[in-house]
């Protein structure tokens, strides 16, 4: 595995990547202060802004040495140090969170198969995704359900991270959820198990011969391969609708590979770091030539935005939906001594047309907020694109028959 994984998205309840670390010389036992100094060094050497967002980084090198006595102290002051950058994406992960990210990369977790979000008033825990075929779905849990209690513990005001700590456990052990849906309450007992996370779902609408691919995450190492399999499965469809709604991103490598499967040529994305600018170019050997419409919303972030803008800017797809989240920064994650880790923003990216979409988002070709209407318009747009190509396809076929 390479030294770092590049992260271009954020996930609820665990995500992202793995990395390696330079440890102290052989024979030297790692001290708590070494953990802090390693984190400081990694930011010094890799942070994308050489001015460190206006922070004098050298001042922080030994600022907390006298206060770091334990590993917990080191972790506390690493957080303080990183927060001084005022960059929400450069952050500390404790060993548990880091392990969760590794599990997500491996596309396998032990749990019940749900993703959570907090309501805007921060009082409710809402299930925003249920993994198909997972233990939660088999027990009647549905997207949109509110978790009112976990093992009889009141969940009002609980963060998704706090809820995850209570829901996690060993495979084969039970957890009890009290769910509210509308005015009704129900209690379900769910047995935790190892779950294989699928990044892609696909199907063919036989009435329209339109293929649908829903890409829920770019985090799994298997995401690009799953997408390729979906394209192969739908190779006889007249056109494709690719749904990136509610997709918070993941690994940059997946976004690049998937874009390359769809583009005839051109730039995919440019990344700009302290060391210069790099542009990834499509190989010109796409897996699919079918017309494409992409669905996005305001939760489509980072890797989703890279894919959507690459296809939009190269004229390969029509983008339908809402303005996307607007995360135009790339992180790498580095392991620290003792098993914790840090995410560090190492570059910003530009779309093929040269736009910086950070805090701005990708603007759809057709802006629609209602999800069902987005899907209807996507179908109509795709049908129009397919119809416009049919005379060309017929002419090619007739020419072949005359030879």
How many helices and strands in the chain, by DSSP H and E? 9, 20
What angle in degrees, to the nearest 10, is found between the helix axes of 32-46 and 71-83? 20
d(CA 218, CA 53): 28
Q: Considering 84, 270, 302, 309, which one is annotated as catalytic?
A: 302
Q: Considering 5, 198, 312, 327, which one is annotated as catalytic?
A: 327
d(CA 174, CA 164): 14
Hey, how many other C-beta atoms are within 10 angstroms of the C-beta on 296? 31
CA neighbor of 249 nearest in space, from 174, 306, 169: 306
Q: Considering 34, 280, 313, 347, which one is annotated as catalytic?
A: 313
| Residue 49 appears among annotated catalytic residues | no
| Residue 238 appears among annotated catalytic residues | no
| Residue 313 appears among annotated catalytic residues | yes
d(CA 332, CA 334): 7
CA neighbor of 224 nearest in space, from 268, 271, 263, 261: 261
CA neighbor of 342 nearest in space, from 353, 351, 350, 333: 333
The residue with tokens 């993994």 is 131
Q: Provide the H-helix boundaries in 54-194.
A: 71-83, 95-105, 135-138, 160-167
The tokens describing 84, both together, are 């001084």
Active site residues: 302, 313, 327
């Amino acid at each position: 595995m390479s030294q770092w994984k590049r992260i271009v998205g954020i996930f609820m309840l665990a995500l992202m990547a793995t990395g390696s670390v330079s440890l102290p010389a052989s024979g030297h036992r790692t001290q708590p202060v070494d953990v802090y100094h390693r984190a400081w060094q990694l930011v010094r050497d890799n942070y994308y802004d050489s001015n460190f967002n206006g922070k004098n980084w050298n001042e922080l090198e030994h600022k907390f040495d006298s206060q770091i006595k334990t590993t917990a102290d080191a972790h506390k002051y690493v957080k303080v140090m990183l927060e001084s950058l005022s960059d929400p994406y450069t952050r500390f992960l404790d060993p548990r969170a880091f392990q969760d990210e590794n599990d997500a990369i491996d596309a396998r977790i032990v749990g019940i198969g749900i993703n959570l979000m907090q309501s805007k008033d921060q009082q409710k825990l809402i299930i925003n995704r249920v993994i198909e075929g997972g233990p939660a779905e088999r027990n009647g849990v549905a997207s949109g359900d509110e978790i009112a209690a976990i093992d009889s513990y009141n969940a009002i005001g609980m963060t998704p991270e706090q809820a995850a700590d209570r829901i996690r456990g060993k495979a084969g052990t039970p957890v009890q959820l009290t769910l509210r849906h509308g005015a009704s309450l129900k209690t379900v007992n769910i047995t935790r198990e190892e779950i294989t996370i699928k990044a892609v779902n696909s199907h063919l609408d036989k009435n329209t011969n339109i293929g649908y691919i829903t890409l829920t995450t770019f985090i799994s190492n298997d995401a690009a391969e799953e997408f390729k399999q979906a394209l192969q499965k739908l190779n006889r469809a007249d056109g494709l609708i690719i749904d990136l709604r509610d997709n918070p991103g993941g690994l940059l490598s997946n976004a690049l590979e998937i874009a390359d499967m769809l583009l005839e040529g051109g730039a995919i994305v440019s990344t700009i770091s302290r060391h210069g600018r790099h542009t990834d170019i499509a190989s010109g050997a796409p897996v699919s030539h079918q017309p494409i419409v992409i669905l996005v919303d305001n939760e489509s972030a980072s890797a989703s935005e890279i894919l959507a803008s690459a296809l939009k800017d190269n004229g390969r797809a029509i983008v339908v939906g809402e303005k996307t989240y607007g995360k135009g920064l790339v992180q790498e994650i580095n392991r620290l001594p003792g098993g914790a880790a840090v995410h560090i923003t190492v570059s910003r990216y530009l779309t093929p047309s040269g736009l910086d979409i950070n805090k701005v988002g990708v603007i759809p070709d057709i802006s629609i907020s209602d999800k069902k209407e987005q899907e209807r318009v996507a179908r109509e747009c795709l049908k129009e694109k397919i119809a416009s190509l049919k005379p060309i396809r017929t002419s090619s076929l007739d020419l072949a028959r005359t030879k």
